[in-house]
Structure 1
Amino acid sequence: MSMIKSPAEIALMREAGRVVANTLAKVRESAAVGVSLKELDELAAATIAGAGATPAFLGYTPRWASVPFPGVICTSVNDAVVHGIPNDYRLRDGDLLSVDCGAFLEGWCGDAAISFIVGTADPVDQALIDATDAALARGVESARTGNKMGDLGYSIGGASRSAGYGLLADHGGHGIGRTMHAEPHVPNDGRPGRGIKLTAGLVIAIEPMLILGGKEDYFHDDDEWTLRSANGRRAAHSEHTVAITADGPVILTLP
């Protein structure tokens, strides 16, 4: 399957991306102290279904997983970096929540993630989220024709490490289209001038995952999905689906 999408296909992906963005906005609005992760998952399911779309994560079973993902969204709290399963946990004041959402509409996928504080924000946690969002913005800005994948990775990882944050080891973004995860791999670190050349029509999900304290190791929970920072420190995740065009990068996962 070609990695290059036509303008018409990118337009269809934009509609899928809008479903994802609207779902994330509703989840964020409803995430309050005392609300359970399962309740947020049910809200996401209703929002996606109401848009005529289907969730990308529910039942997803990649090669490395022995059990399918049981939720519509990934809800990762505090030291959970990514792939947290929505369960009966009720949000507490000061929790750092990362929400990852994917949806298919007319056969095309959108994928995005946000991180935010529930209730009272610790300035250190907010700075972590701001740094993650800034890393994503740098990655999007680097997603231009003529650049190479190493340029994009370096734009994310170089400044993040210099600021004292760790990057989730062995994880990054990905190509996206008819499937949620496709080629090419989109690293969160790299060497400028290295890797494949970025060309018009390539659509990728860019997703920095930063950890407090500069450490990058992680471990899996017994649920086989949730990835937690090995140092027990908090983490943040930010993601957009982005089309590379002759006129520059276009974010497809905006409301």
Structure 2
Amino acid sequence: MSKDFKKLAFKASSRPSAKEARTALIERYGDHDPAEADAIVALGGDGFMLETLTAHMPLVRRGLPVYGMNRGTIGFLMNDYALDDLPARLNNAEAAIIHPLKMIADAPGGPFTELAFNEVSLFRQTGQAAHIKISVDGTERLERLIADGVLVATPAGSTAYNLSAHGPVLPLTSDILALTPISAFRPRRWRGAIIGSNARIVFDVLDGEKRPVSATADNIEHRNVSRVEVFQDLDTSLTVLFDEDHALDEKILREQFAT
């Protein structure tokens, strides 16, 4: 990026290693309020990156970039941690534009609207399997999915829960979403679908009183949902920065060849 990063806002997760890193970085570069900063530096894991984006949504929506450094575990959305040369790394970083999913969930006290950067997932609340009807753009595509649940993942989130559920890894530049069942029982051979990013996916919970289902947008859960609509919020653009040799599209490509 050509922007000159002089004012940085450092945010850290609750991990001791993240807090220690924040202290060291502030001693080296100072610290500013996010509203006055040129970028937010998030220290933690992927979960904390999502928390940071959500907590500073108004600023990020207006173009404030977020640069993560890994002080967690896997850190797929994070860069390697280093104390030196941070302004230069930021100036040379590549920007990934992320459009979150929007979830509208009908539930007691709702409807509720949430954003998700990784995935929206529906999951059974009891020992009984969930029964869910799936429609895409107003057309019923699956009369009754019997499963532990189902999820919709963005390209950026396709290597998270979606990959664990045996869903496809999506290139960051693709205009598609992954629709992936979670431990499907019927139809037994259905492995999910690839959906265009402009599609609207509707989940209708069948037999909800007997087989209650929760809906989660990243880490925000609503229980006893009856209907959930999911679509990509193309009006919301968020900028996440990656080092030149750790660009998100390259990470996603490498993940497809991981063994």
| Superposition TM-score tier, normalisation by shorter sequence | under 0.3
Give TM-score, length-normalised by structure 2.
Answer: 0.27
Query: More relative contact order in 1 or in 2 (CA 8 Å, sep 6+)?
Result: 1
Q: Which one has a larger percent helix, Structure 1 or Structure 2? A: 1
For the pair shown, the structure with the greater C-alpha radius of gyration is 2
Q: Which one has a larger percent strand, Structure 1 or Structure 2? A: 2
